[in-house]
Structure 1
Amino acid sequence: MTGHPLLSTLTDPDPRRGIRFYDGRGGWDFSPYPVLARAGFALADRLRAEGVVPGDVVVAATGSTPEFVTALLGATAAGAAFSPHAAPALFEDPEEHRRRTERTFDAVRPSVVVTRPEWAGTFRAAATGRHRPRVLAVTVGELSADPGGRQVARPPADRALVQFTSGSSGPARAVAVSAEALSANIRGIRRWLRMEAEDATASWLPFHHDMGLIGCLLTPVSSGADLWVMRPEDFLRSPTEWLRVFGSGSARLTASPAFGLRHVTRRVPHEALEGMDFAAWRAVIVGAERIPPDVLKDFAALLAPHGFASRALLPAYGLAEATLAVTGSPLDEEPRELLADRATLTVGHRMRPADDADRAVPLVSCGRPVVAGGKVLITDRLGRPLSDGRVGEIVVSGPSVADGYADGHPDGGQERPERGGFSGRQFRTGDSGFVHDGDLYVVGRLGDSLKCRGTTVFAEELEACLAGLESLRTAGAAVLLGTAHGVDTAVAVVERRPGPWVTELTELLRRRVPDLAVVVVAGPRGTVLRTSSAKPRRRAMWEAHLADRLGTVCSPAPSAAAAAAGPHRTPAPKSRAL
């Protein structure tokens, strides 16, 4: 077990600390670390009895529960690789969950699936394909009461973790992470946050997502620090309860996509914060494809009257293929922002500050590498390094880069792979950005961009324009870019009934991207497909749009003939950013 970050939690748990799980009714249920460790060892015995050996994969599908932590510790003690999987959601189509589960089984080939009793039948029904793992239904109460649990931990095999990418730009990919890479990333996060055992974390992120798993579960648990856990659905219903943990001084650290901060500012009224004190809240790691500056400012403004310091906001960049964290903003410094000239945000160009408000694109710094030995490189189309200030593909390297994709296919059979690819401890991310004064600035995904009048346009930038429309302030929205019927097209997907806003939005996009066809699609809540971290699933929505099953088209779908007829629909070249 040497080198595995969970070793001390298994063998020397602090009885004063543990994990508190929100009960959905305003209370918290406490699971001390010794109880979770005892249950983990008991589960390890059961896994061995099922024939699990070092190198096998154990899948956990329990939701954000004590059983998930037990499965993590049990798989670790058995020397197996651990792989998280989403439990069935309340309103999820059972057939869609079965298909997703079968894809997971095909990718990671698990020996055993650990779940809660109420979901055992669901996973047994899904274990009928080429790979048929055994299903264990467990509870922490049952396992921790087992008197026969042996506190024996086997050495880990090459893989410690198999986690999945978010799936925002294509099918989610299984990523194999070694114990060394996992430890390096956790050490980097702890050093970045100056994290000690006294620094409690609170999180609503799902455990099966890399930010929730590595940043908000494994890091505090391996540090022996207290952890407060809400299920995502409870956070969405009651974001004030999440804030209350920090406002009472119980927790100091957290991480969230920008969506979570925006949800707080939209749902939490000022009067709900009375009596809270956020002065001790030290770090809010904010990770997203591209971080909207207004989200940071609005969140800080809401909490500032109650002691929150904006320097606690730490914009960051990370991805599953690098275990999690790549870069992060320095602790105790204000977030850095610059206004770039959008015409220069094209691969190979040198970024210039904007001298015209109409051409300005606000970008937030994601800081510098947080893992010792980690590096960020910006490259051109041919993979050649670019100097500071030039825009190109973000390439990351270092000891926390994963071993590769667990399914063994470098591009997953996709024509346009979600990410660029592995080469040893180096990974081409498929994301565009540049380095300025030593800080990384993320521009957007290269696969979600098009050329318009010689300038690269990113979906994230157009979404920021939509967010500025007062008529769409509370509506879910996403922008898709691609070629439909031979014409380069921008599709705005909005969760709202058709109305006057359609004309306003269409005119806005036509001014911003005059060489692209513009289509507006409206639909009910849920039309904008999202990942577990609330990123838009653009590839899936684009395919649904082409199949006429995404929503109500409020402006005519483009055809080659129609595009050529209108002045605002002149076909653009079919070239991509790369």
Structure 2
Amino acid sequence: MLRRAGHGATPRVCRKCREPWERTGTLGDRNRGLLDWLDQPSTERGLYYADSADGWDFWSYRDLAALVLRTAAALRAQGVGQGDVVALVLRSSPGFVAGFFGALAAGATPCSIPPPFAFQRADEYEKHASHLFATAAPRFTVCDDESLEQIRKVASGLGLQEPVAFDELVAGAEPLERPMPLPETALIQFTSGSSGFSRGVLISADALRTNLAGMGQWLGCAPQYPAVSWLPVHHDMGLVGFLLNVVVTGFDGWMMQPDDFIRSPLRYLRCISDQGAVMTAMPNFGLAYILRRVRPADLRELRFDSVRCVIIGAERVDRQVLEDFHALLGPHGLDRGALLPAYGSAEATLAVTGLAPGEGWSAQAPDAGDAASLAGAAVVGCGRPLEGRTVRILSEEGEELPDGRVGEIVVTGVSIASGYIGTTGSASGTSVDDGGLATGDAGFLRDGQLFVIGRLGDGLKVNGKMVFAESLEALLHHRGIPERRVAVLLGVRDGVPTGVAVFGGVRPGWREAAHEVLSEWLGDAELHMVELPRGGVSVTSSGKPRRRVIWKALCAGEFDATTRPLTAEAEADAPVAAD
């Protein structure tokens, strides 16, 4: 595999950004074309990739630009034409950057597909990847070495052209003299698949450009501000929210693999401190993972004064996790106002709302008299709409609701997807049409800020009030059950309101906690628990519980052998599963 640009064997001296934080410029100032960075790429700034020896491989933007144009020429030589789809099955790497922007420079549409590392079982991966490939129908597929054999199997089963390893593709290729015109669709982006199979979303070049511009204005992105990420580039938060934002803007990006972060979250924190990073991003579970793995004593020599933007999205944000994270890093300079909850979706290209840097997050509950609310449950605000976007809350009848009332979140404005590709295979409730994006998410507005509660289909009405699975999971996390080790299912089964706690490797005390929480909030609903081995809770490639998929399997009897009533006596009567 490619290792580094020739002149970049030794990273530059670590530095901190000492310039005052400014959020300047207009949307037009930041509205750069997706390939403008190829015109005069910097030799001083670029991307740093973590190696296995606690070091970094540096790729300047000049070297990346040359690789992009070589990749574009190689794709054209392989017969890739205007508007053709190029599937990318690559980890975060110079090859991924070259594959993505090289496809655009060749006039083609890139589509990032999760590599095998994102799945625990090979059969699950091949089933998922087969669906994605059948949906995208790529003209050409580029892989890294570790993905090649499994993707060959998938491609063969679908009658698609055999994939090619990135290094083999670009070997001996001369750079394309200039980029081809951009395709109408600049990205096929897959949804997480939490409600079933992932859906392919068509993102136009204009939608992608305006979403990056909106994020730039929201965050105050500028080339002098370095950033750090461990997010996978097959997920919209890691791809659009971080990588494309960094490259198009042209600031230094320090790139780790998800595996690097899981092995050593301290290495990630040390990078932020050493490089004076201003921006990073992660889901809520990333913050929670740092809290589990990092002790205050580990941070003795680290400083986080430079950080201005910790973007937190992709899943519901837990206020206690935010408090605990700031308690851990605050003594080392992290400003509470740097924690920026945000809301977005694949169908909105990515970002819809975000909290302004420095404002400071808050948690609020919907109106107490709202029949659709979970009484007394405060949720974290996700900021205000980015420029050019409008967020409304609609009732089941389609009427706009006032502040504090819970309904469906509907988004209109720039950067909404053009639509879907292929069959959806999903019951997500999300739709895109002339009226905008009906997200299928429940939330409320207050003073212009959006508060997100959960998925509309993952709830149960109890005594006239709606209880959401995500709210109950948050309560279980507060009781000590880690994320990804439990999923709550809510629905009506055989005509009976039902709540189910699905455990992945149950530990002492978890059954009791689940019974207390579910019985308190679900009233007379029938309660069950399903006990699976650790890792058995089905999640998407981005880590969200696939609640509706699990619910369908439960109703089909697939978990009958491991399902039993969830009662106050369940803890004493049951063995502890192997961890």
TM-score, normalised via structure 2 length: 0.88
Q: How does 1:338-377 map to 2 (within 5 A)?
A: 338-340=364-366, 344=370, 346=372, 359-370=375-386, 372-377=387-392
CA separation in 1, counterparts of 2:146 and 2:273? 35
The answer as to whether partners of 2:107 and 2:182 remain within 8 angstroms in 1 is yes
Aligned residue for 1:248, secondary structure, equals helix
Which residue type is aligned with residue 262 of structure 1?
A
The answer as to whether partners of 2:276 and 2:306 remain within 8 angstroms in 1 is no
Task: Please identify, of 213-222 and 82-91, the stretch whose mean Cα deviation from structure 2 is larger.
Answer: 82-91
Aligned residue for 1:386, secondary structure, equals coil
**CA apart distance, 1:360:** 1.5
**CA apart distance, 1:486:** 2.8
Q: Does 1:277 align with 2:303?
A: yes
Which residue type is aligned with residue 301 of structure 1?
A
Aligned residue for 2:156, secondary structure, equals coil
Task: Please identify, of 31-40 and 128-137, the stretch whose mean Cα deviation from structure 2 is larger.
Answer: 128-137
The residue that corresponds to 1:576 in the other structure is: none
Q: Does 1:478 align with 2:504?
A: no
The residue that corresponds to 1:204 in the other structure is: 230
The answer as to whether partners of 1:345 and 1:443 remain within 8 angstroms in 2 is no
Q: How does 1:398-547 map to 2 (within 5 A)?
A: 398-407=413-422, 409=423, 412-414=424-426, 417-424=427-434, 426-470=436-480, 472=481, 476-497=485-506, 499-547=508-556
The residue that corresponds to 1:10 in the other structure is: 38
**CA apart distance, 1:497:** 3.3
Aligned residue for 1:405, secondary structure, equals strand
CA separation of 1:312 and 1:24: change in aligned 2, threshold 3 A: same
The residue that corresponds to 2:411 in the other structure is: 396
Aligned residue for 1:117, secondary structure, equals coil
Q: Does 1:135 align with 2:168?
A: no
CA separation in 2, counterparts of 1:156 and 1:515? 57
**CA apart distance, 1:213:** 0.3
CA separation in 2, counterparts of 1:302 and 1:444? 28
CA separation in 2, counterparts of 1:117 and 1:300? 40
Task: Please identify, of 318-327 and 112-121, the stretch whose mean Cα deviation from structure 2 is larger.
Answer: 112-121
CA separation of 1:100 and 1:497: change in aligned 2, threshold 3 A: closer
Which residue type is aligned with residue 195 of structure 1?
C
CA separation of 1:334 and 1:403: change in aligned 2, threshold 3 A: same
**Which of 369, 375, 386 is matched with 2:401 structurally?**
386
Q: How does 1:66-465 map to 2 (within 5 A)?
A: 66-89=94-117, 92-130=120-158, 132-139=160-167, 143=170, 146=172, 148-340=174-366, 344=370, 346=372, 359-370=375-386, 372-407=387-422, 409=423, 412-414=424-426, 417-424=427-434, 426-465=436-475
Aligned residue for 1:69, secondary structure, equals helix
CA separation in 2, counterparts of 1:551 and 1:261? 35
Once the two structures are superposed, residues 355-386 of structure 1 have per-residue CA deviations (whole angstroms, 9 ceiling, x without a partner) of xxxx410111111111x211101111132222
CA separation of 1:330 and 1:208: change in aligned 2, threshold 3 A: same
CA separation in 1, counterparts of 2:98 and 2:70? 9
CA separation of 1:57 and 1:200: change in aligned 2, threshold 3 A: same
Q: Give 5+ residue unaligned stretches, structure 1.
A: 559-578
The answer as to whether partners of 2:32 and 2:213 remain within 8 angstroms in 1 is no
Once the two structures are superposed, residues 376-413 of structure 1 have per-residue CA deviations (whole angstroms, 9 ceiling, x without a partner) of 01111132222222221100011100101122x4xx25
CA separation of 1:323 and 1:96: change in aligned 2, threshold 3 A: same
Task: Please identify, of 418-427 and 291-300, the stretch whose mean Cα deviation from structure 2 is larger.
Answer: 418-427
**CA apart distance, 1:433:** 0.9
Once the two structures are superposed, residues 9-39 of structure 1 have per-residue CA deviations (whole angstroms, 9 ceiling, x without a partner) of 2222111111111123322211222222111
CA separation in 2, counterparts of 1:509 and 1:256? 29
Aligned residue for 1:83, secondary structure, equals strand
Aligned residue for 2:341, secondary structure, equals strand
**CA apart distance, 1:504:** 3.9
The residue that corresponds to 1:23 in the other structure is: 51
CA separation of 1:81 and 1:147: change in aligned 2, threshold 3 A: closer
Aligned residue for 1:344, secondary structure, equals coil
CA separation in 1, counterparts of 2:202 and 2:514? 42
The residue that corresponds to 1:570 in the other structure is: none
CA separation in 1, counterparts of 2:435 and 2:143? 33
Aligned residue for 1:447, secondary structure, equals coil
Which residue type is aligned with residue 17 of structure 1?
R
The residue that corresponds to 1:564 in the other structure is: none
Aligned residue for 1:126, secondary structure, equals helix
The residue that corresponds to 1:561 in the other structure is: none
Aligned residue for 1:555, secondary structure, equals strand
CA separation of 1:183 and 1:475: change in aligned 2, threshold 3 A: closer
**CA apart distance, 1:509:** 1.4
CA separation in 2, counterparts of 1:313 and 1:258? 11
Which residue type is aligned with residue 153 of structure 2?
A
CA separation of 1:556 and 1:238: change in aligned 2, threshold 3 A: same
CA separation in 2, counterparts of 1:267 and 1:244? 14
Aligned length: 537
Aligned residue for 2:378, secondary structure, equals strand
CA separation in 1, counterparts of 2:484 and 2:137? 40
Which residue type is aligned with residue 114 of structure 1?
V
For the aligned residues, what is the CA RMSD?
2.3
The answer as to whether partners of 1:20 and 1:227 remain within 8 angstroms in 2 is yes
CA separation in 1, counterparts of 2:289 and 2:271? 17
Task: Please identify, of 493-502 and 9-18, the stretch whose mean Cα deviation from structure 2 is larger.
Answer: 493-502
Once the two structures are superposed, residues 171-208 of structure 1 have per-residue CA deviations (whole angstroms, 9 ceiling, x without a partner) of 11100000100000000001001110011111111100
**Which of 10, 33, 39 is matched with 2:67 structurally?**
39
The answer as to whether partners of 1:21 and 1:65 remain within 8 angstroms in 2 is yes
The residue that corresponds to 1:575 in the other structure is: none
| Percent identity for Structure 1 against Structure 2 | 41
